[in-house]
Chains A and B, each alone.
Chain A
């Protein structure tokens, strides 16, 4: 029973003997093996660590187990929230929207506005036009957005709703109510690609639909666009903007969701920050557009290159080399030298890397996440002399990505020991970790069970991270971001060293106060 002086929640309550008895009593009625035959569980658990199991596991064709990717509309919602006074609107059933909002909210610890037009059985039969007509008007009346960015759930895609026609139809019947609201749209079928595909499609949709035909293009030599990609690190957005501002005041981030998920206490604002629609509408006039996530913007790139006839470049400012490239690209495009301040930040970063290198050097890492995130993180690990033994990308693009990764790995002293696992999931990774173990695992919250099973420490870098607070506020991009990466990884190595050496009178001769 609770001691009122020291009330404990379930974590410790269930350790009390009377609760242990309850849990034990329950086993009598259970059918899971642990209750009936714990030795069978041990036997199978051991087998799952074997090469035999690994082979069976890696040859899976139909079932995905513990994925490391999400679906298209999630990315579309992120794009929408990167534009000023924009309401993400998902055409389809509302359960999806509840999921997107919860997912982002659990990661950012912030509200996530998004509406749906609640399609149901009748819409499945008759199509979702009626829902869209009502939905757009209601959304507009209640939330007074400047723009509504429409994406789709798989339901709407399967029944074949045509967004272009629907938006036109809804506008016509809105009695003028929607005349002052921009409505952009993108088809985002969940059964194609992943959340980064949805990011790409929505970004492309917004840029294309808000920008007039090429005939009206008026070149602005000083203007440069930057597309951040599906970026869960808000601090990265801040840092990219800081770096950009050192090169000019006409470098505009397209899809800047930093403030939306980083509002202060005091009052709740539905919309916050974001790229202004005015700036978005002139994106076509820029001299160039830089995408910071090549593989989150492959379709958007086509619009910029082919329709806008604009210079399109990619940079991946994660790690030292990646940031160097980004900085040099800005320097090249603006014709301005690299500012003193950045040179200083760079040298401070390199200094820090030289201070800490013994701890990452030669350590084996397994890492999973989105394609561009991985290219950046792996290049940083390589820069530090770490060994990225397993690089797993569930949503790996078919074209180009593996070659890009190989290029990154070619700089490693241990390139031959590194494995790229495209299209694999986290249950595959479990087999890899048991058969070819590493020292550290880098990834999102779903690595937690891998840590529990294998004992390999998880360094939380990625998306989503639900079970640790405020990491998303930091940067992983730019020189300061690289310093954060260095700090997190090095200190995780040192924490593990303490963990391994803390046994009194056994291993604690290495339990050092100075490192």
Chain B
């Protein structure tokens, strides 16, 4: 398809969707949808509205502030216990679903895949849950003596019934001399997960950053860095860490995949903060810069092109020894990734992809697909802000349909119109598109594979995309007796 045709088709797709809406919805959604390309000035990446209230009654894919705090930022901190404070559901639905890998003895010194809940009853709503919370904190310390702190993750009712969890936490902290952190991340706050990330960052700022006990005897080196905003999905942070170590850097903290309290507390000792998921952790990176003078840079470890670019960018912040070693690392791994590309690119070349994810992935993974010769023709964020869309501009390689907070109705319509060869999104969308006969990969959980960060991970990514695209199962949809075309 020629670039002009593609752009026209994308514009048509938007027009058709908007036309089918009630007027008020149409007006609202028009501002969230658009087309952009590397050549366009002031395209959708610059103008798209984002981080706004979701239209009521549509099937949005968005989550809530609690999901952003407990599910994303705090949940992976492995040696702390995170209480889902409120009714039973939230903690249960978010239990062990995100594949935040960690090393530890679950239930003894690490707790990530467990679910701690204050299981609110009507009585707690009516009379308040502060007393119950206090007892819960004590019971946790009795039964899990090796925990290194407790966070309280508020569910919706907490902020509505007038409980003062901050006071409970403060009191308990002074009594137990253990970190006890109350996070007011009620699900109704804000418009998506995003505010939850921000609130979670603020509590790291207020509660962990001032704790210098672990920083006092910390032996610094000139090469100390921290990984910030990598949740170690399928081991992403580990396959990133190996590269940084091989470059000669020392990774002193991982935030927050496989993280411990201590790593959170010593991060300000880093000479440089490396920020992967900008959306969910830029706040704390900025804080560490202001408060502790730790500079931060963004990087992208998806696909060899971006990984190499990022490694050089990181190395440029250090001396020549590091830079020389970095070139060795790049040379060593590029030989392998070249082989990966030689193996898979011929099978994937020219295939089109539509993305819809959260955080950093709607832009970060574009390069990895392009490395395989695949063409990303649509992308969007569940909970991005203007700065995410602006950053996306640098990553798009052709005319791209941009959709913010896309609902299921729109995504289905766009896919039917643009007919991509692969859709890469989340579990709620997965089976919709597979039923149409479209290969699909979950790009939140890596579809139970991964890691996808770094060079070794790119080999897995390539293999997985080939698996999805070239599986024989897609060819079975049409029965031999069917005369008309079925599926997309």
Asked if A245 is an interface residue, CB under 8 A from chain B, the answer is: no
Question: What is the distance, in angstroms, from B290's C-beta to the closest C-beta of chain A?
Answer: 23
- The reply to whether A265 and B487 form a contact with Cβ atoms under 8 Å apart is yes
Report if A45 contacts B (CB, 8 A): yes
Closest B-chain residue to A57, C-beta based?
B143
- Chain A residue total in the interface (Cβ 8 A): 108
A61 to B140, CA, bound (A): 11
CA distance A15 to B67 in the complex (A): 31
Q: Do the beta carbons of B160 and A41 come within 8 Å of each other? A: no
Distance of A124 Cα from B184 Cα, bound (Å):
15
Decide: A453 near B132, CB < 8 A? Known: A95-B65, A121-B188, A132-B56. no
| Contact present for B115 and A67 (CB under 8 Å) | yes
In residues 237-264 of chain A, which contact B (Cβ within 8 Å)? 263-264
B118, B122, B409: the one contacting A192 at CB < 8 Å is B122
B121 in contact with A26 (CB, 8 Å): no
B268 smallest CB distance to A (angstroms) = 13
What chain B residues lie within 8 Å of A45 (beta carbons)? 105, 108
CB-defined interface of B33-52 with A at 8 Å, one 1/0 digit per residue? Answer: 00000000000000000000
Measured CA separation A44–B111 after assembly (Å): 14
Chain B residue contacts of A430, Cβ below 8 A: 107
Most buried by A among B57, B108, B136, B245: B57
Question: A304 in the interface, Cβ–Cβ < 8 Å?
Answer: no
* A23 contact set on B, CB distance < 8 A: 103, 238
Expressed in whole angstroms, the minimum distance between the Cβ of A451 and any Cβ of chain B is 12
Q: Which residues from chain A contact B105 at a C-beta distance below 8 Å? A: 34, 41, 45
With A1-B336, A31-B79, A65-B115 as known contacts, state yes or no: A102 contacts B459, CB within 8 Å: no
A18 at the interface (CB under 8 A from B): yes
Q: Is A101 an interface residue when CB atoms closer than 8 A count as contact? A: yes
- A48-B67 in contact given A124-B188, A190-B88 (Cβ < 8 Å): no
How would residues 398 to 410 of chain B score, 1 for a CB under 8 Å from any chain A CB and 0 otherwise?
Answer: 0000000000110
User: B322 at interface (Cβ–Cβ under 8 A)?
Assistant: no
Residues of A contacting B161 with CB < 8 Å? 158
In the complex, the answer to whether B251 meets A70 with C-beta atoms within 8 Å is: no
The answer, among B25, B64, B238, for a CB contact under 8 Å with A94, is: B64
Min CB distance B50 to A, Å, is 15
**Which A390-431 residues have a C-beta within 8 angstroms of B?**
427, 430
A22 at the interface (CB under 8 A from B): yes
Give A408 Cβ to nearest chain B Cβ, in Å: 26
Ranked nearest first, the 7 interchain pairs of A and B with the lowest CB-CB distance are A95-B64, A71-B89, A31-B262, A135-B57, A138-B57, A135-B56, A99-B93
| A155→B235 contact, CB < 8 A | no
CB-nearest residue of chain A relative to B451? Answer: A10
For B336, give its contact among A2, A18, A61, A97 (CB under 8 Å). A2
Q: Which of B8-16, B387-395, B432-440 contacts A (4 or more CB under 8 A)?
A: B432-440
Say yes or no: B64 contacts A64, CB within 8 Å. no
Chain B residues 60-119 with CB under 8 Å of chain A are 60-67, 78-79, 83, 86-95, 97, 101, 103-110, 113-119
- Knowing A31-B79, A95-B62, the reply to whether A13 touches B235 (Cβ < 8 A) is yes
Q: Is A474 an interface residue (CB 8 A)?
A: no
Query: What residues on B are CB-neighbors of A449 within 8 Å?
Result: 106-107, 113-114
Which of A112-120, A341-349, A358-366, A499-507 interfaces with chain B?
Answer: A112-120
- Min CB distance, A481 to chain B, in Å? 25
Partner of B427, one of A102, A131, A140: A102
Residues on B with beta carbons closer than 8 Å to the beta carbon of A143? 59, 409
Residues of B within 8 A of A (CB): 20-22, 24-25, 53-67, 78-79, 83, 86-95, 97, 101, 103-110, 113-122, 124-125, 132-136, 139-140, 142-143, 145-146, 148, 155-157, 159-161, 186-191, 193, 214, 234-235, 238-239, 241-242, 245, 251-254, 258, 260-263, 266, 332-333, 336, 339-340, 343, 408-409, 412, 426-437, 449-451, 455-456, 459-460, 462-464, 476-478, 486-487
Q: A63 and B140: CB pair below 8 A?
A: yes
- CA distance in complex: A138, B101 (Å): 40
Binary CB contact string for chain A from 186 to 221 against chain B (1 if under 8 A, 0 otherwise): 000111101000000000000000000000000000
B-contact bits for A65-89, CB 8 A (1 contact / 0 none): 1110111111000000000000001
Shortest distance from the beta carbon of B151 to any chain A beta carbon, whole Å: 13
Contacts of A57 on B, CB cut-off 8 Å? 143
Distance (Å) between the CB of B174 and the closest chain A CB?
20
| Also in contact, A191 and B122, with CB within 8 A (given A56-B142, A64-B117) | yes
User: Does B21 contact A142, Cβ atoms closer than 8 Å?
Assistant: yes
With A and B bound together, what is the CA distance between A351 and B187 in angstroms?
A: 54
B-chain residues with CB within 8 Å of residue A142 when the two chains form the complex:
20-21, 25, 57-58, 409
Q: Are B435 and A266 in contact (CB under 8 A)?
A: yes
Cα-based distance from A446 to B107 in the complex (angstroms): 13
Q: A95-B90, A116-B57, A268-B412 are in contact. List 4 more A-B contacts (CB 8 A).
A: A7-B460, A26-B254, A143-B409, A154-B87
Assembly CA distance A120 to B86 (angstroms): 17
Can you list, as one digit per residue, whether each of A102-142 has a CB less than 8 Å from chain B (1) or not (0)? 11011001111111111111011000000110111111111
A residues in contact (CB < 8 Å) with B = 1-2, 4, 7-10, 13-14, 18-19, 22-23, 25-26, 29-35, 40-41, 44-45, 48, 53, 56-57, 60-67, 69-74, 89, 92-103, 105-106, 109-121, 123-124, 131-132, 134-143, 153-155, 158-159, 189-192, 194, 263-268, 427, 430, 446, 449, 452-453
In the docked arrangement, what's the CA distance between A95 and B336, Å?
Answer: 42
Q: Give the shortest distance, in Å, between B240 (CB) and chain A (any CB).
A: 10
Q: Report the nearest A residue to B410, measured CB to CB.
A: A142
Distance, CA A61 to CA B133, complexed state (A)? 10
Inter-chain CA distance A84–B426, complex, in Å, is 26
Residues A70 and B103 in contact, CB atoms below 8 Å apart:
no
- Give bound CA distance, A501 to B40, whole Å: 69
- Tell whether A120 pairs with B191 under 8 Å between CB atoms, given A32-B79, A62-B139: yes
A119 touches B188 (CB 8 A): yes
* A139 partner residues in chain B, CB cutoff 8 A: 57-58
Q: How far is the CB of A138 from chain B (nearest CB, A)?
A: 3
- A2:B437 contact, CB within 8 angstroms: no
Contact A29 B266 (CB under 8 A): yes
- In contact, B93 and A9 (Cβ under 8 angstroms): no
16 CB < 8 A contacts A-B: A7-B459, A10-B239, A10-B460, A31-B263, A40-B146, A63-B116, A67-B92, A67-B115, A98-B64, A113-B408, A120-B53, A135-B57, A137-B57, A138-B58, A143-B59, A265-B434
